[in-house]
């Protein structure tokens, strides 16, 4: 029978190991050991358990681990709670009022784009994004603004999960380089026919990706206003990045 002190130490070790994945996209057992001071043998034991229950996932690169589906879902639940309490919704409402179009905040979840908050303008647009709904993390402005700021292995994983061909992967890589260079992504009809969208990344103070702010509208209606919509969406993304939740 283990003592309360032994259980406490085991719990502390587990928490310290999991905390590494809040700072790093992936890590080896040896890297975790070096950061935490926990012996590699103990780190491996904990990782084996974490993989079994979904807290940690074995990365594509042999010997590396990353946050598992359960950990990602916990983080998203926390983020959604923060969103509901903070100024993100208010800023989206302001963006929607300024553009008269749909404004949304989206994040990357596993291999999908998840809409976690949205605000409608005075003009209605029919599209696939509303709170709680997701689409593949591949094409479209929101997906590409997210992918452009995610690690290469994460991009490759999403491409493989959605069955992209080599030529599609090559085109995606070109598109992502352009998005990184210009600081935003634009698409027409890649998710919903006839719908134009612009997405701007929201980065925290360490330049880690938090999500993207998107404005969506029928292309025929906003064609003369593309430049102003990009400017307004970019301003909203900057404001959200400065919110206290992400400081």
| Chain position carrying tokens 């380089």 | 177
For 55, residues 6+ apart whose C-beta sits below 8 A from its C-beta are 18, 67, 68, 70, 71
Q: pTM for this one? A: 0.67
Please provide the size of the chain in residues: 247
The two tokens of residue 203 are 């980065």
Give the DSSP H or E segment for 135: strand 134-136
**Considering only CA atoms, which of 231, 225, 214 is closest in space to residue 88?**
214
DSSP-derived secondary structure letter, 199:
E
DSSP-derived secondary structure letter, 246:
G
The confidence score (pLDDT) of residue 247 equals 45
> How many H-runs (helices) and E-runs (strands) does the chain carry?
10, 9
The confidence score (pLDDT) of residue 78 equals 61
The confidence score (pLDDT) of residue 91 equals 92
The confidence score (pLDDT) of residue 186 equals 96
Give the span between the Cα atoms of 75 and 69, in whole angstroms.
10
Q: Is 105 helix (H, G, I), strand (E, B) or coil?
A: strand
Give the DSSP H or E segment for 46: helix 40-53
pLDDT of the chain, 247 residues: tens digit per residue:
556 666 677 778 888 998 888 777 788 999 999 989 999 999 999 999 998 888 888 887 788 998 877 777 676 666 655 554 568 888 999 999 999 999 999 999 888 898 888 998 887 677 777 777 788 999 899 999 999 999 998 899 999 989 999 999 999 999 999 999 999 999 998 888 889 999 999 988 878 898 999 999 999 988 899 999 999 999 999 999 887 444 4
For 77, residues 6+ apart whose C-beta sits below 8 A from its C-beta are none
Count the neighbouring beta carbons within 10 Å of the beta carbon of residue 99: 23
The confidence score (pLDDT) of residue 76 equals 65
Using a 10 angstrom Cβ sphere, with 0-12 exposed, 13-18 middle and 19 or more buried, the burial of residue 104 is buried
Give the DSSP H or E segment for 147: helix 141-147
The confidence score (pLDDT) of residue 246 equals 45
């Amino acid at each position: 029978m283990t003592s309360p002190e032994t259980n406490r130490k085991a719990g502390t070790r587990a928490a310290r190991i999991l905390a590494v994945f809040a700072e790093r996209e992936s890590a080896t057992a040896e890297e975790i050991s070096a950061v935490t001071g926990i012996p590699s043998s103990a780190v491996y034991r904990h990782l084996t358990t974490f993989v079994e229950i979904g807290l940690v996932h074995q990365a594509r690169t042999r010997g590396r681990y990353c946050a598992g589906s359960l950990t990602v879902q916990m983080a998203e639940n926390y983020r959604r709670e923060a969103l509901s309490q903070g100024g993100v919704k208010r800023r989206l409402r302001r963006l929607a009022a300024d553009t008269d179009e749909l404004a949304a905040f989206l994040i990357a979840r596993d291999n999908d784009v998840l809409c976690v908050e949205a605000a409608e303008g005075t003009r209605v647009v029919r599209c696939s994004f509303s709170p709680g709904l997701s689409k593949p993390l591949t094409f479209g402005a929101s997906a590409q603004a997210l992918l452009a700021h995610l690690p290469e292995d994460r991009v490759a994983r999403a491409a493989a999960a959605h069955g992209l061909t080599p030529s599609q992967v090559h085109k995606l890589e070109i598109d992502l380089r352009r998005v990184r260079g210009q600081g935003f992504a634009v698409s027409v009809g890649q998710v919903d026919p006839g719908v134009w969208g612009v997405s701007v990344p929201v980065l925290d103070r360490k330049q880690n990706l938090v999500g993207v702010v998107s404005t969506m509208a029928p292309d025929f209606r906003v064609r003369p206003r593309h430049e102003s919509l990009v400017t307004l969406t970019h301003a909203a993304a900057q404001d959200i990045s400065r919110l206290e939740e992400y400081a």
